[in-house]
């Protein structure tokens, strides 16, 4: 039976990692993989997480099963940061732990499908796994353009998609720090999006994978909160893998906002059943460590400081690239300063991307996406000179 399977093309970024690892040039630059890096090019465990992990080893008395919803202390500790002071919207929001943001997106799409969804509208380009997950669940993907050529968000396209979306349809939006473009909706645009969603029968699915890496935890939650204040129901997929540096520990949560508090239980029972049938229970360690960060004043402050320094560094790189706009013809780097998070799309063609790799040892995705965090004080001048060379 297994002979019938068609070979699948390998993940392009994983292939890039291999190429980068095999390159012996000492000044090589990796802008491919989507992990944060310090100015030394490292991706260290957060100090706040290290401290929480030490506490966890001392405290944990059992590794017995928890249940499909995972560590609810973790799930609830995050809620004020995402949803604000009234973190449950009057008892209408509850969540469960998932294996990373990927698990949360998967569970969101699966429960939408269970409820009758047949189609998901989403802006493109997007995180490539969005379309893969939706198609794997036999959901039709209806794409609209996320960005304008000038580096701003295409508001008309998203409004048209929302207004055209029917009853058995969902609309996926990135909460902040859009991957791969870095182009977020402005607060004024979120107001219009929220109003359009309030009029639409479609279910909003909000994906928040980089909370706190844009302008701050409060500012980055503006769009999510605005939408939740306007609509009856929504799903919110959340990842702690970037903002707590937990990548391989797979830390995420899926929240649901129901029309009213009595509507939550049936939805949660479906989420539990779907989780049980896919991963049964989420891995515990990372969620427990995040809970121990958020529930201790010292560790929480340490995390907030660490997040702020990541954010400041990303801002520094963006401003440095934007300031080099006049050194590099035709790439239009200036808008990068207004964009957010770890990623940006450079207007490079396939040949230029290949030349950057071959002649300058600069590795980036074939789409032109760069991980802004791969640039440091030590390599950014070399990168700008390489761009100027290939952009000619």
Least distance CB 391 / ligand PLP (angstroms): 27
Least distance CB 179 / ligand PLP (angstroms): 4
Closer CB to ligand PLP, 97 or 239, in the complex: 239
The residues of the shown chain that bind ligand PLP, judged by CB under 6 A, are 34, 100-102, 105, 127, 174, 179, 207, 209, 239, 241, 252
**Maximum alpha-carbon separation in the chain:** 62
Select the residue whose beta carbon is closest to ligand PLP and give its number.
Answer: 100
Return d(Cα 38, Cα 20) in angstroms, integer. Answer: 19
- Taking the alpha carbons of 174, 175, 179, 181 in that order, is the dihedral positive or negative? positive
Least distance CB 384 / ligand PLP (angstroms): 26
Least distance CB 240 / ligand PLP (angstroms): 7
Helices (H) and strands (E) in the chain, counts: 14, 11
Least distance CB 232 / ligand PLP (angstroms): 24
Closer CB to ligand PLP, 134 or 355, in the complex: 134
Q: What are phi and psi of 20, to 5 degrees?
A: -65, -45
Give Rg (Cα) of the chain.
21
Closer CB to ligand PLP, 237 or 267, in the complex: 237
Is 127 known to be catalytic? yes
Closer CB to ligand PLP, 170 or 328, in the complex: 170
Tokens linked to 101: 């943001």
All residues at 6 or more sequence positions from 242 whose CB lies less than 8 Å from its CB, including other chains = 35, 36, 209, 210, 213, 342
All residues at 6 or more sequence positions from 306 whose CB lies less than 8 Å from its CB, including other chains = 46, 47, 48
The catalytically annotated residue of 30, 113, 127, 303 is: 127
The catalytically annotated residue of 71, 184, 207, 220 is: 207
Residue 10 · residue 18 · CB < 8 Å:
no
The CA–CA distances, whole Å, from 137 to 106, 110, 281, 323 equal: 9, 7, 20, 44
The catalytically annotated residue of 242, 249, 284, 303 is: 242
Residues 150-171 as b or e (16 or more Cβ within 10 Å = b): ebbbbbebbbebbeebeeebbb
Is 47 known to be catalytic? no
Closer CB to ligand PLP, 193 or 342, in the complex: 342
Catalytic residue numbers read 127, 207, 242
């Amino acid at each position: 039976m297994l002979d019938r399977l068609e070979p699948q093309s390998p993940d392009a970024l994983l292939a890039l990692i291999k190429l980068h690892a095999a390159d012996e040039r000492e000044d090589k630059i990796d802008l491919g993989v989507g992990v944060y890096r310090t100015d030394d090019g490292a991706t260290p465990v957060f100090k706040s997480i290290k401290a929480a992990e030490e506490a966890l080893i001392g405290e944990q008395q059992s590794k017995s099963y928890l249940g499909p919803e995972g560590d609810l202390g973790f799930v609830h500790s995050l809620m004020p940061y995402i949803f604000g002071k009234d973190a449950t919207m009057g008892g209408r929001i509850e969540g469960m732990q998932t294996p990373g943001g990927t698990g949360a997106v998967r569970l969101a799409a699966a429960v939408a499908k269970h409820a009758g969804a047949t189609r998901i509208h989403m802006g493109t380009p997007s995180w490539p796994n969005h379309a893969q997950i939706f198609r794997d669940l036999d959901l039709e993907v209806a794409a609209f353009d996320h960005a304008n050529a000038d580096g701003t968000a295409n508001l008309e396209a998203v409004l048209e998609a929302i207004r055209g979306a029917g009853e058995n349809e969902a609309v996926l939006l990135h909460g902040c720090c859009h991957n791969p473009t870095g182009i977020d909706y402005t607060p004024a645009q979120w107001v219009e999006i929220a109003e359009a969603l309030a009029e639409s029968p479609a279910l909003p699915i909000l994906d928040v994978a980089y909370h706190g890496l844009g302008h701050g935890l409060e500012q980055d939650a503006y769009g999510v909160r605005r939408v939740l204040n306007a609509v009856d129901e929504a799903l919110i997929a959340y990842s702690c893998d970037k903002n707590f540096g937990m990548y391989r520990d797979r830390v995420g949560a899926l929240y649901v906002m129901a029309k009213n508090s009595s509507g939550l239980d049936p939805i949660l029972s479906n989420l539990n059943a779907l989780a049980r049938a896919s991963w049964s229970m989420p891995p515990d360690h990372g969620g427990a460590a995040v809970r121990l960060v958020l529930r201790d004043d010292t560790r929480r402050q340490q995390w907030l400081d660490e997040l702020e320094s990541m954010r400041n560094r990303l801002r520094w790189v963006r401003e440095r690239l934007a300031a080099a706009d006049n050194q590099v013809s035709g790439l239009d780097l200036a808008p990068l300063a207004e964009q957010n998070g770890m990623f940006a799309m450079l207007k490079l063609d396939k040949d230029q991307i290949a030349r950057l790799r071959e002649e300058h040892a600069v590795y980036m995705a074939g789409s032109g996406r760069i991980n802004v965090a791969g640039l440091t004080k030590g390599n950014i001048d070399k990168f700008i000179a390489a761009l100027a060379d290939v952009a000619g």
